Chain A
Amino acid sequence: MADETGGATAGRTGSTTAREPGGTTARETGDVREPGAGPAAREPVMRARDAAPRGAAMAAEGRLPPERVALVDLLDRLLAGGVVVTGDLVLSIADIELVRISLRALIMSVRSSESLDTGVRYEPQRY
């Protein structure tokens, strides 16, 4: 479960928000709101102030491009899910501790940059 790092946050109420990794519009999915319309847009990879207008426009076009998907959500799936094969491989994720490496980089990056508007525009971090 989550680390106990929660703090008091003023002015937020229970809500349901939505983002779309791609494929369909908010309207097609039923009762969910348009991407960027709610607190979800506060994620560091999708700041509300930047994402809202573009996000709404993208949703209107029918899908959000992969560039708009939160990198954290994507890595949850790309590093913990999917078919894993070994044998005959030059390389697989199992051979490299990518999770540890990339998350360390991600944490450092999120800390060091407060003005992200997409998941790819991190300040370079090298170790």
Chain B
Amino acid sequence: MADSATYLYAITREKDRADPERLAGVAGVAGAPVRAVPQAGLVAYVSTVPLAEFGEEPLRRSLEDLDWVGETARAHHRVVETVAMDAATAPVRLVTVYSGDAQVRAMLERRHEDLATVLAQVAGRREWGVKVYAHPARPASPVGARAPESPEASGAGPGTAYLRRRKASLRGRDEAWREAAERAEHIHEALADVAVATRRHRAQDPRLSGRDEWMLLNGAYLVDEDRRGEFAAAVEGLREPGIDVEITGPWAPYSFTALEFAAPEDRDGG
């Protein structure tokens, strides 16, 4: 049994092949160098990785180690970004490990048409992330927002402050939620008008996002490069009191290349 395997980061068309010098300057997962594996008019970007770290059992352990996951995710992203700098790129999901280059070539051969279709769809386009947060039912004044133990700081008596807080929190929390969700729908639709494709990710857990507000929208938008300014302006135009709109990007089109090549006959075909 071999002691190394092939870790796959991304796929491009051969005519978009990444500059070898630039590839040489980027470290992949576990610090491994990145290679290009061409086949069938496509190029796969890979690293040789030790099975001692990327075999099934070591991975099961490593994936519980957040430092390892963070480091690996960033290394994966670094390679994808390098490749995607000036090429239509299909990123591959984190931790996709083949037994060798031959298996990667076989996959490129077998999935050539699907991959070419996807790459044509993302060519000349970039992904943008837009997150919308609402802080509904916020009191009109800062009273009671932070200091329940020291109401005197607000200038009101403890009883008054309590009643004010209670009133604020009871003032239709459900209604506030519905209203906020509607605004998020409106925002999503407005951005979808400028995008060629959209995808909504699950709202991030508040403990992960580090924000107390409701995350109403965690959207990804595939935008033509020549409409980039228009998209940014659309995002800016959505600003309104009571919500935060956060844009990230440009990203490689992670959210628009989520092909699932999962046919069971693959095992026989390779």
Contact = CB atoms under 8 A, between A and B. Distances in A.
Interface in A68-118: 69-96, 98, 101-103, 105-107, 109-111
Contacts of A124: 65-67
Contacts of B81: 21-23, 66
Q: Is the interface of B mostly helix, strand, loop or mixed?
A: mixed
B73 A78 contact: yes
B170 to A, nearest CB: 12
Contacts of A2: 203, 206, 214-216
Contacts of A81: 91, 93, 199, 220, 253-258
A16 B246 contact: yes
A44 interface: yes
A95 B56 CA distance: 9
Contacts of A85: 8, 92, 96, 107, 111, 261-262
A98 B65 contact: no
A18 interface: yes
Given A83-B258, A90-B55, A106 B208 contact: yes
11 contacts: A8-B139, A14-B244, A14-B245, A78-B76, A81-B258, A96-B59, A101-B64, A102-B63, A103-B208, A122-B66, A124-B67
Interface of A: 1-24, 29-32, 39-40, 42-45, 65-67, 69-96, 98, 101-103, 105-107, 109-111, 119-120, 122, 124-127
Which 3 residue pairs spanning A and B have beta carbons closest together? A87-B266, A30-B232, A81-B254
